[in-house]
């Protein structure tokens, strides 16, 4: 019987180790997503600044931002789910428990008073806002044509995607500290 408990505990510890490795991998993926976002933003802003007629490339950023922010948030939720599983299900199967999640919970800081100043808000939707504002002078200078209608439609879709990105980032930020 003691061997059953020992092997059950060994299995729980092995599961804990695998889950912590998954959390680390997801955090590394989040860092990669942030790097891709900043690289894409830098490249597209550089291209747009190289000539006034190239400002329309900025309209790609809200879409890129939305997609990357969505993946970033998905990794955050997965990490929170794993942490909850470790705390509620796995810890009880190990003699003495796995105290990391229990220890961490009261030490988490509260969300910032000004969520717009959250680095994720700046890195994801903030960049989209700058792209949309940066493309406005170019769009306003265009004469009415089919291309102009398409570009203004892209701009409006960019506004919607930027708002969606902001909601994603704010939601994960507030859920992280519950």
Q: What is the pLDDT of residues 138-161, one digit of tens each?
A: 999 999 999 999 999 999 999 999
Q: Which position has the token pair 């939707």?
A: 125
Picking from 38, 146, 51, 50, the residue whose alpha carbon sits closest to that of residue 154 is: 146
Average pLDDT over the chain, rounded to an integer: 87
Confidence of residue 116 (pLDDT cuts 50, 70, 90): low
pTM of the predicted structure, to 2 decimals: 0.84
Q: Per-residue pLDDT for 52 more than 60?
A: yes
Confidence of residue 177 (pLDDT cuts 50, 70, 90): very low
């Amino acid at each position: 019987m003691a061997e059953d408990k020992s092997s059950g505990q060994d299995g729980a510890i092995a599961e804990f180790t695998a889950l912590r490795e998954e959390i680390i991998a997801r955090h590394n993926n989040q860092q990669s997503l942030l790097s891709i976002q900043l690289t894409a933003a830098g490249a597209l802003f550089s291209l747009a600044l190289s000539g006034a007629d190239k400002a329309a490339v900025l309209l790609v950023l809200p879409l890129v931002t939305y997609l990357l922010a969505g993946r970033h948030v998905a990794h955050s939720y997965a990490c929170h789910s794993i942490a909850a599983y470790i705390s509620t299900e796995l810890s009880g199967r190990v003699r003495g428990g796995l105290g990391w999640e229990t220890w961490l919970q009261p030490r988490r800081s509260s969300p910032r008073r000004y969520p717009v100043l959250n680095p994720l808000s700046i890195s994801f939707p903030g960049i989209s806002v700058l792209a949309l504002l940066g493309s406005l002078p170019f769009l306003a200078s265009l004469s009415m044509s089919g291309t102009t209608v398409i570009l203004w439609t892209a701009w409006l879709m960019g506004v919607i995607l930027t708002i969606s990105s902001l909601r994603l980032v704010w939601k994960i930020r507030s859920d992280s500290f519950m």
